[in-house]
Amino acid sequence: MSNLERIADTAANEGDTVWAEKTGWMDRVPRWVKMLLVFVIFVLLWDLVTRFRFVSPIILPTPVETFLDLIFVGQNLLSGGYMLQALWITLLEVFYGFLLAIAIGFSLGVIVGETAFGEEAIMPYLVAIDTMPKVAFAPLFVAWLGFDIDSKVALAAFIATFPIVVGTAAGLHAADTNSRNLFKTMGASRWQTLVKMKLPMALPQISTGLKIASVGVMAGAITGEFLGGGKGFGELIRVAASQLDTPRVFALILYLSVVGMGLFSFVSWLQRRVVFWQKDRVSAASE
């Protein structure tokens, strides 16, 4: 048997055992088990830190305390208690803030992305405002609109508008030369070009802007409540923190993040439905 044949022979023999199943044990563990593992390690560390008093319980509550408070807050929410009312107020702020941001952001985005005047004369100001710490405007909104939900809606919308403007404007620029020339040779009007070609082509970028905005709108509403009072969920957090009731603060934050994730998932779901042709490309890129 020549050397070459021997190599070929061993390769063939080992083919079944070594080459086909070269996955480690980690690959066979389902994803949820791994996620659960990380969670358990996290809670164990947390428990150790509090059990041996590395950190004062006023600063960091024990996992059990937090869990009990989570149940308490959950019961209050489910039984329609004062916390549900507070959550409802915050949800309204987020809803109106998001709607306002979409309306203003989309309109500005089209003006900036579609007209030369908008791009040259308006965009620089938008960029300038966007680079400011927008939360700093909160006291102004309170002064202008009072302590009711209006000032929170304004701050939430203010923060969420810019990602939508940028997404819309950038998306409108995404149309390639071929598509533009095709529409020109078909004799399409500017409006037809915008509605039948540029806007659909901009949808992937618009929805990316919406996703970023959905995170910002929550932050805006809660910050507005911290700085401008009112009766929302942010106020509950502020009061609990001022009373050093840290388990409550943690519990409230967790419920708030559920709301945030819900909003983000909704926008993602909407994106998959509306921009259905992108589905293949996104999954192909992630593989």
Partner 1 sequence: MTAAAASTRSDALQGAPVYQLSNVGKTYARNAIKALEGVGITLTQGSFSSVIGSSGCGKSTLLKIMSGLIPPSTGRVVLQGKPVTGPRRDIGMMFQQATLFPWRTTLENIVLPIEIRDGKAAAKAAKTQARALLELVGLKGFEDTYPTELSGGMAQRASICRMLITEPAVLLLDEPFSALDELTRDFMNMELQRICSSRNATAFLVTHSIPEAVILSDVVYVMKPRPGRIAEVVEIDLPRPRTLEMMTTPKFGEIVAHIRGRLDKEAFI
Q: Which residues bind partner 1 (CB under 8 A)?
A: 176, 178-179, 181-188, 192, 196-197, 200-201, 276-277, 280-281
CB of 197 to partner 1, least distance (A): 7
Report helix, strand or coil for 148: coil
Smallest distance, partner 1 to C-beta of residue 250, A: 45
Side-chain-facing half-sphere of 284: CA atoms under 13 Å: 5
- 235, 66 contact by CB (below 8 A): no
* Nearest to partner 1 of 173, 196 (CB atom): 196
CA distance to 111, 115, 134, 173, 200, per residue, from 188 (Å) = 19, 17, 41, 18, 16
Which is nearer to partner 1, 10 or 181 (by Cβ)? Answer: 181
Residue with smaller CB distance to partner 1, 203 or 236? 203
Closer residue to partner 1 in complex, CB, 90/168: 168
**Nearest distance from C-beta of residue 165 to partner 1, angstroms:** 23
Quote the least distance from Cβ 273 to partner 1, whole Å.
12
- Residue 138: CB atoms within 10 A of its CB come to 22
Instruction: Quote the CA–CA distance of 94 and 97 in Å, as a whole number.
Output: 5
Least gap, CB of 179 to partner 1 (angstroms): 6
Q: Whose Cβ is closer to partner 1: residue 70's or residue 201's?
A: 201
Residue located via tokens 């909003």: 263
- Work out how close the CB of 196 gets to partner 1 at its nearest, in angstroms, rounded to a whole number: 7
Nearest-10 crossing angle of helices 82-114, 63-78? 90
Q: Which is nearer to partner 1, 169 or 175 (CB)?
A: 175
**27-48 as b/e, with b when 16 or more CB fall inside 10 Å?**
eeeeeeeeeeeeeeeeeeebee
HSE value, Cβ hemisphere, 13 Å, CA-based, for 83: 22
**Closer CB to partner 1, 10 or 192, in the complex:** 192
Cα-based distances in Å from 218 to 70, 252, 256: 20, 14, 9
Token code pair at residue 231: 């009766």
Least separation in angstroms between residue 270's CB and partner 1 is 15
